[in-house]
Structure 1
Amino acid sequence: MRRFIIIFLVLPYLLSAQINQTDANGLRQGHWEKRQDNGRLIYEGDFKDGKPVGEWKRYHPGGQLKAIISYRGDTAHTRLFDVWHKKLTEGNYVNQKKQGVWKIYDKNELLTADEEFVDGVKNGVAHQYFDTGEVMEKSHWKNGKKDGAYEVFYKDGQAYLQCKMKEGQRHGLFLVFYENGQPEREGAYVNGLRDGEWKFYDPEENYSYSLFYDKGKILNPQVRDSIDNLKIQELEKNKNMLADPEKFMNDPSEYMRKSKMFR
């Protein structure tokens, strides 16, 4: 009986002596963990020859699971969670840099976006999704900036906006469409500034008016002001139904979220 009591008392110390160990060469080996002053875990996992292996876990200050990291060679597949254990994002680190496709989720664990990375920098194709799964936005990235084709879609897949990007700025042809597929406006940007003639159409594809720009400066403001007054009157009559897309040209996907017809 006395021997059992001694083993029971000594066992915790023997177990604690087997964690956070280094070998004769100073390399971390075996199980490692770190705790807060109150005893709650900060992280735990295993090392082999100084490198993390297998499954590691990190925790929020309150003790809830924060991350599960699965190591395989230089690749670490990572899943991040909020304090309610809802998945926020997942993807791979390679040599501690984001690599490949990373997925982003909302509080209900629905996929809201995905992004491609090369050596920790956003490169490739990125998407944003409606809460029902359809693609809302598709963009191309180069060295951390939007570069190339940029598109925003209606829920049925019809194009809402199409343009070209260059080093994070709109540059080139710019098109906006009504839900019926007819053009709503067409123009061009030069280094992020409206330039040249911008044509506007009604939903039946009838030409309405043009605005003219010189590197961002409007050349016929009286036409714009006249149209703005008409828009204000129309929006006031339908203020509980319509969102003015012009106010969302710098963030067209936000227009999709706020426009009543997409709720």
Structure 2
Amino acid sequence: MDVMKLFLLIFIFGCNSTSKNKDSICNYLETKVVDHTMIVHKDSLILNGNEGNWYFKKKLYNGFAVKYYKNDSLQEKTGFFNGKKKGAYKVWFENGVLKLETHYNQNVLVDSYKAWWLNGILALESRYINGEKQGIERQWYANGSLSKERNLLDGQENGLQRAWLQNGKIYVNYEAKNGRKFGMSRANLCYQLKNEKVEENKTK
């Protein structure tokens, strides 16, 4: 067995383990096995839904797939290895500002997940482990002020959950545990959602 085959075996079995400490290392290694010299338009790939594999010219694809806006600016770029999404996945706004950046390991979301507003301000930051959100997830308004802060375990709320209005006033503040909520949720406060915007209830 040559060195390259041995490396791939260690990589595949190591990155498929459930160890949380391996995500960043494995994501780095994933970008090294994707063929950086191969770039095709995403529309040229064919997805076999039963397998979950992407094919290019009837072969499992290894390389990058891209899409463009009508003005020829790059819209998205996805890495693939042996027909599955691997490594970084990025999406840009039409003006070239980065909109989304996340990572895949065999079609499963892993490691950091970030999204930005059109003005370049960070809009969302979370972390995936084996396809599930874990730890603290934060969201920001377009002006940079904190909007939400959630604690998650296996994709579910677990621990303190908070949200703020753009003026800095807190309107959600509760703790989630075993599917139950303890504290003040939005329904208990003097605020409501109207057309996806938070407005203060006015009493007569």
Normalized against structure 1, the TM-score is what?
A: 0.50
Distance of aligned partners of 1:127 and 1:76 in 2 relative to their CA distance in 1, 3 Å threshold: closer
Give the drift of 1:157. 1.6
Give the drift of 1:150. 0.2
String of CA shifts for 1:68-90, please: whole Å, max 9, x gaps.
Answer: xxxxxxx986557xxxxxxx458
| Aligned position for 2:83 | 120
String of CA shifts for 1:191-217, please: whole Å, max 9, x gaps.
Answer: 0101111122232434444022114x2
| Aligned position for 1:136 | 99
| Aligned position for 2:140 | 177
- Preserved contact between residue 39 and residue 63 of structure 2 (Cα < 8 Å): no
Instruction: Give runs of aligned pairs for residues 209-228 of structure 1, distance below 5 A.
Output: 209-215=172-178, 217-220=179-182, 223-227=185-189
Return the match for 1:188 from 130, 134, 151: 151
Return the match for 1:162 from 125, 129, 140: 125
Q: State how far apart, in whole Å, the 1-side matches of 2:114 and 2:40 are.
A: 29
Q: State how far apart, in whole Å, the 2-side matches of 1:206 and 1:133 are.
A: 33
- Preserved contact between residue 77 and residue 93 of structure 1 (Cα < 8 Å): no
- Preserved contact between residue 154 and residue 160 of structure 1 (Cα < 8 Å): yes
Using the aligned pairs only, state the percent identity. 16
Amino acid at match of 2:89: A
Amino acid at match of 1:225: A
Distance of aligned partners of 1:76 and 1:135 in 2 relative to their CA distance in 1, 3 Å threshold: closer
Amino acid at match of 2:181: L
Uncovered stretches (5+) of structure 1, i.e. residues with no partner: 1-74, 81-87, 246-263
Which structure has more relative contact order (CA 8 Å, sep 6+)? It is 2
Runs of 4+ residues over 6 Å off in structure 1? none
| Aligned position for 2:67 | 104
String of CA shifts for 1:115-154, please: whole Å, max 9, x gaps.
Answer: 1111211110001222333211110111211100000101
Uncovered stretches (5+) of structure 2, i.e. residues with no partner: 1-36, 46-54, 199-204
Q: State how far apart, in whole Å, the 1-side matches of 2:183 and 2:68 are.
A: 43
| Aligned position for 2:166 | 203
Distance of aligned partners of 1:206 and 1:76 in 2 relative to their CA distance in 1, 3 Å threshold: closer
2:100 is the alignment partner of 1:152 = no
String of CA shifts for 1:209-242, please: whole Å, max 9, x gaps.
Answer: 4022114x24248633234x7323xx2xxx4xxx
Distance of aligned partners of 1:109 and 1:244 in 2 relative to their CA distance in 1, 3 Å threshold: farther
Return the match for 2:192 from 231, 238, 247: 231
- Preserved contact between residue 75 and residue 94 of structure 2 (Cα < 8 Å): yes
Q: State how far apart, in whole Å, the 2-side matches of 1:78 and 1:178 are.
A: 35
Amino acid at match of 2:83: G
Q: State how far apart, in whole Å, the 2-side matches of 1:180 and 1:191 are.
A: 30
String of CA shifts for 1:50-102, please: whole Å, max 9, x gaps.
Answer: xxxxxxxxxxxxxxxxxxxxxxxxx986557xxxxxxx458x95992211221
* SS at structure 1 position matched to 2:133: strand
